[in-house]
Structure 1
Amino acid sequence: MELPQISESFHRGASADKAQGNGLGLFNCKRLMSLMDGEVYAEIESGCFSITLVVRLA
């Protein structure tokens, strides 16, 4: 399973060979959320991929 590596820089999944991109989207998202004292969670459930962003209230 590739889920643990999806937020690493330049990581592209095995099924991403036909899609454009450099593998930086979730890496950048995780970094920005960290700078804002937030978090990012990714999961696959029932064949659906979802991302949850946790934003701290000021």
Structure 2
Amino acid sequence: MVNSGRHQIIYNQGLSGLKFFGQMGSGPGELHTPRGIAATEDGKVYVADMNNNRVVSLQSRKGSLK
């Protein structure tokens, strides 16, 4: 899920609890008002980064945004 107010992605990775990723900005690993998230069958994750006018992909193995 996304938390637009905190400019973060929130996810649950197995039984390890909630993880938070992202901070406000326009650089690598940063989001500015994320509004939606989608996952594909092959495990790719995309985030609509509204105020940066872009769609970013989450590389879950690396824990980073592209």
Relative to the length of structure 1, the TM-score reads: 0.31
More helix by share: 1
Larger Rg: 1
Relative to the length of structure 2, the TM-score reads: 0.29
More strand by share: 2
